[in-house]
Structure 1
């Protein structure tokens, strides 16, 4: 018996879910509202858990190696360049904080090509105007005029599916906006380096032999309009450490984008409703201060196949499969959301004055073992085996 799924959203989370369901034998349609599936943004740090989830989608080591630049997190510095928490270059720490610097458009392209290769139907220009959630074991769901055994809400931070099903759970403006850009790489940029200052954070990281990704995350009123984003970024970070200034000096004005940062505190109270399952930013969009947005999107997508796709294709009932997905994924995502909020409070969201010097002094004496354990908790995730069907 074949099963049909409609995945709403053709971004990283949606494509990952579509691939995992198709690999489990489902007929999958991705409903994307844009005329052409694409990925906004510049780069991201692909941590161990993101790599594990990517491999769980069927990608081999060769494909992983071609995604970007293998590197590691080197630590955090004060805005003036003085070290706050530098990470040791020993084998244990390197393994804990290993990263691949990736261009977001590169991974989106790889996922899109694989989705098509495994038979996923990508339909563009489709708006979700109406949605009937159906009932597991009963009526099918109906979305974008299509009946489905399962609907996956993967339409991002400003999710139309979430608005339709969880209208009381609204996004909150973080009070921060973020510049992002890709620029020509210089030889000295070899690791992820982060700089903290009052109400601001700056990071830079290689994403290929040729390109460096940087971001500048700063306190700013929502919907601020700026005449020249690069000029504004330079003015905001004037006086910061030399690596920060150098990477902006190497940036072309047209390469800079900026977006206001919203989040969904606590995430949704349930990731399922009827035959609908929510994933990625649509379900738990948290602050970017842990760098786990893409990683959890990939984790969610892989787990759609492991907890729902495989057991239902094997004859199991949908209701317990949905319940197990929610029981496993929601606690992990909530924990990461809390960690992102805590990191923001001691990092980019911290005000100026004595608070900065006290924070810096405490972090300078943080034991390496504590850093490694924290990295393991966030990034040590491994995909579980496919769930057994429940009849």
Structure 2
């Protein structure tokens, strides 16, 4: 007599970093049958450099992807290897302080490089391209996702990793009796570009600027704007993002028919930062054809789960990039679900309890990261209600502001989740919020 339980069928919608990382974390388990669906004809990431804090690096390692990441990742060079960012006044590049991350520093990677390295490890046949989800049909004994090509996929669990414009998010919210939620414009736009580091060095020499500012991640701060730089691709390229905020409207809107990303002239970008200092201007003058990005995020959602459909990454908690934490939160989601779903004690009978644990343990933390990401942008741009333009206080706050985010114990969350599932005893004195 064969008592072996049928494999859990898991569908993942979205082939970005979070979705692919989760697929890799799940597909090695024989009790799981995984399919990854991507709407594009091939894997691809929008954007350039992305930063990962110690929490995200831990999640990557926990997913078994640590070596893959280290192969393509960049670190701040010695002797500044523990520096996350140095903080400088935008008007003259005067030093305000630094944020130190021992053992990690500024751990960053080119998005496309990382996704390519992950996708190369996916087993053949696990991914289907050109699959845009349009509808979810969820009944008591059946779950299936329908695609715009007329096909469908029946599964036991459906995971929405399809980004800020998620097709699955409103299904989850409506299932909870809640109103749909669309991305909201933040009032902040970001000019982006990738600069050859040799070109930037030469520009700094012309202006008499210390080349240290090329080698070490920098953040130039000013009223209603800030500019960050950090090296990627082994220091050959400098990733540049220049943020400018319009706070004239309490609820800013972005035209519905306007693209979120477009090319602009260098003159437009330089005009936006008129009056900034030589270092900041020299960086921007090295970007001949910048793109401008309209930054959107989501409100904090009251739930990430409906039935057997669950949201992860930007589909659940898209946030502003000011803490370098958005991709990291998606990886924390992937790590949490991969470890629980990969446990052989997981089956159709306890899936609801597992998803409830995910929602209760991951959502408060992700919401806090969303909230503080917005607040951190205010801090950088001298609009924090307490710190304002007080440079001494600004340096002190930035030195420790991110400790709670980076030092979070992911495995403590998993221990608590297993306790809630009755798999192991709860740790004495465990604290479970945020």
The TM-score by the shorter chain falls in which range?
0.7 to 0.9
Distance in 2 between residues matched to 1:183 and 1:312, nearest whole Å:
50
Alignment of 1:180-329 (within 5 A): 180-186=192-198, 188=211, 189-208=214-233, 209-219=235-245, 222-223=254-255, 228-253=264-289, 256-266=290-300, 268-310=301-343, 313=346, 317-329=350-362
1:340-359 superposed matches below 5 A: 340-348=373-381, 350=383, 358-359=389-390
Give 1 or 2: higher helix fraction: 1
* C-alpha displacement of 1:355: 9.6
CA distance in 2, matches of 1:356, 1:313: 48
Q: Is the 8 A contact 1:197 1:348 kept in 2?
A: yes
Distance apart, 1:317 and its partner CA:
1.3
CA shift in 2, pair 1:315/1:174, >3 Å: closer
SS of 2:27's equivalent in the other structure is helix
The 1:64/1:32 distance shift into structure 2, 3 A limit, reads: closer
Map of 1:123 onto structure 2? 128
Any gaps of 5 or more consecutive residues in structure 1?
none
Secondary structure, counterpart of 1:34 in structure 2: coil
Q: Which has the larger radius of gyration?
A: 2
Write the mapping of 1:65-214 to structure 2, written as runs, cut at 5 A.
Answer: 65-71=70-76, 72-83=83-94, 85-87=96-98, 93-95=100-102, 98-114=105-121, 116-117=122-123, 121-135=126-140, 138-144=141-147, 145-166=152-173, 167-186=179-198, 188=211, 189-208=214-233, 209-214=235-240
What is the rounded CA distance, in whole Å, between the counterparts of 2:9 and 2:316 in structure 1?
22
Per-residue deviation, residues 244-285 of structure 1 (Å, max 9, x unmatched) = 2222232342xx32221111122x211111111101111011
Contact 1:48 1:99 in 2 (8 A): no
Cα offset for 1:305? 0.8
CA distance in 2, matches of 1:134, 1:211: 51
* 1:181-200 superposed Cα distances (whole Å, 9 cap, x missing partner): 21211463122211122221
Give the TM-score taking structure 1 as reference length: 0.86
Alpha-carbon distance in structure 1 between the residues aligned to 2:154 and 2:114? 30
State the shift of 1:129 in Å.
Answer: 1.4
Q: Which residue of 1 aligns with 2:403?
A: 376
Do the aligned residues in 2 keep the contact of 1:43 with 1:104 (CA within 8 Å)?
Answer: yes
Q: Partners in 2 of 1:356 and 1:9 — Cα distance? A: 40
Residues 250 and 130 (structure 1), Cα distance of their counterparts in 2 relative to 1, 3 Å cut: same
The alpha carbon displacement at 1:41 in A equals: 0.2
Q: Deviations over 1:12-35 (max 9, x none)?
A: 111122122213332211111112
Cα pair distance change 1:15/1:28, threshold 3 Å: same
Check 1:86–1:349 CA distance in 2 against 1; reply closer, same or farther (3 A cut).
Answer: closer
- Corresponding residue of 2:35: 29
Report what 1:13 is aligned to. Answer: 18
CA contact (8 A) 2:164 2:315 kept: yes
Q: Distance in 1 between matches of 2:183 and 2:87?
A: 29
Structure 2 alignment gaps of length 5 or more: 1-5, 77-82, 174-178, 202-210, 247-252, 424-434
Deviation of 1:350 after TM superposition, in Å, equals 2.8
Q: How many aligned positions are there?
A: 373
Change (3 A) 1:96 1:69: closer
Q: In the TM superposition, what whole-angstrom CA distance separates every residue of 1:162-195 from its partner, at most 9, and x where no partner exists?
A: 1333253232210111122212114631222111
Q: Which has the higher relative contact order, 1 or 2, with Cα contacts under 8 A spaced 6 or more apart?
A: 1
Preserved contact between residue 145 and residue 154 of structure 2 (Cα < 8 Å)? yes
Shift of 1:159: 1.1
Superposed CA offset, 1:330-389 (max 9, x none) = 0110111121122122223739xx99973324324x27xx833x3321112343257546
3-state SS in 2 of match to 1:195: strand
2:49 alignment partner, one of 34, 43, 48: 43
